[in-house]
Structure 1
Amino acid sequence: MTSGLVMPLQKIFAPQLPIVFSLLFLPHGIRVLAVYFLGWRGVLYLIPSSYLMWAISVYGSSIDLAILGPLASLSVVYIAVRMVKTFTESRSTDAFRFSWKECLAIAAIASVFNGIVLSILHGSSFNWILIIGYSSGDMAGQIVLLLLLIAFMKISRKLSKFI
């Protein structure tokens, strides 16, 4: 969805922006939710798909992305999850416990760290445009994903009443 819909629209409506980041990066939301629920195993499970997306972006769209980018992005999400769970003392062992506030805090921290790390990997120095672009795209992706999940849950509850 990011490569096929968001990026072409971004090229049309904001051609001046660097092509290395997306203003609506939905995979960040997937990363946050996977690591939130699965911990370090979520990082391991997402490595193949992250590198597949990297390969499609680099070779399919001719975007210059660092080979360590996917691993760095997954790592900063894990660090953000650990930070938020430590500071909120969220130690519940219930696999289905969910806090949207924690998810948004994790996404915000991880998106800033991700922006910094990817900016450094991309150009070996701080590039504020890239940092802000990566961070805003990641946060927008997380928010849109959570809204889509809320809508899906409401629709599924309404449909379950009819079945």
Structure 2
Amino acid sequence: MHRLASRYLIPAALVMLAYGLAMVATFALLMPLQLKVLPEYANHASLLFLPHGVRVLTAWLYRWRSVILLLPASLAGHVYLDGFDFALSELLASLAGVVCAVMVFEALLRLGVDLYPAKGKRVHWLELALVGGLASIINGIGTALFYGNDLTTASARFLGDVTGVVASLFLLVVFVRFAERLARA
């Protein structure tokens, strides 16, 4: 039971919490500001989409298990935005978002570029941001296919994903440094 909890239940709870906080921050705090300045973006196209950062970090840490960990969080995000009444196209778009980052990590691995964490291996945040950008292209193709987005909305989604990854990485670095200072004190 302890192994099950440490391998699946605790990571699932942490991913759900992080994704949920990112969704609330994006759509309850940031999106109302965006809509005042740029009301023309439709279909929840946030210019600072923090959940994409959670997707990238989850894929980085958990590889293909990230799909299982992210799917419930992504579906909960759809329920948060649209209630329980959503179409198959929204489920498929959600799946594109869930798999996009791990697909990039795995494609790079097949090309001989291993960006997954390992003991003693230094984290290069710029590489994670690059993965986020490449994953956003896959996500953008998926959401454009399933939502029928125009180029303006697809561009806004790409920008939101990339800025969301950069902001998430920045927040993570700040959190880690703060935790290190607390540990030394």
- Which bin holds the TM-score, normalised by the shorter protein? 0.7 to 0.9
**Letter in structure 2 aligned against 1:118:** T
Paired residue for 1:24, among 44, 48, 51? Answer: 48
Q: Secondary structure at the match of 1:68?
A: helix
Give 1:19 shift: 4.1
**Is 1:127 aligned to residue 126 of structure 2?**
no
In structure 2, how many angstroms separate the alpha carbons of the residues matched to 1:135 and 1:92?
A: 23
Seen in structure 2, the aligned counterparts of structure 1 residues 95 and 115 have a Cα distance that, compared at 3 Å, is farther
Aligned match of 1:79: 103
**Is 1:158 aligned to residue 149 of structure 2?**
no
Gaps of 5+ in 2: 1-24
Give 1:4 shift: 1.0
Any conservation in 1 of the 2:61–2:117 contact (CA below 8 Å)? no
Paired residue for 1:7, among 25, 31, 37? Answer: 31
Aligned match of 2:128: 103
Aligned match of 1:37: 61
Seen in structure 2, the aligned counterparts of structure 1 residues 14 and 96 have a Cα distance that, compared at 3 Å, is farther
Aligned match of 1:116: 141
Any conservation in 1 of the 2:105–2:116 contact (CA below 8 Å)? no
Any conservation in 2 of the 1:22–1:133 contact (CA below 8 Å)? yes
Give 1:127 shift: 2.1
Q: Secondary structure at the match of 1:54?
A: helix
Superposed CA deviations along residues 54-105 of structure 1, whole A, max 9, x for unmatched, are: 1111229x9xx72211111112222111122333531777268433233112
Aligned match of 1:52: 76
Superposed CA deviations along residues 139-161 of structure 1, whole A, max 9, x for unmatched, are: 00000011111111222222222
- The alignment yields a C-alpha RMSD, in angstroms, of 2.3
Aligned match of 2:20: none
**Letter in structure 2 aligned against 1:146:** L
Q: Give me the TM-score of the superposition, normalised by structure 1.
A: 0.85
In structure 1, how many angstroms separate the alpha carbons of the residues matched to 2:151 and 2:70?
A: 28
Q: Which deviates the most, 19-28 or 87-96?
A: 87-96
Any conservation in 2 of the 1:84–1:106 contact (CA below 8 Å)? no
In structure 2, how many angstroms separate the alpha carbons of the residues matched to 1:91 and 1:21?
A: 28
Any conservation in 2 of the 1:29–1:107 contact (CA below 8 Å)? yes
Seen in structure 2, the aligned counterparts of structure 1 residues 99 and 11 have a Cα distance that, compared at 3 Å, is same
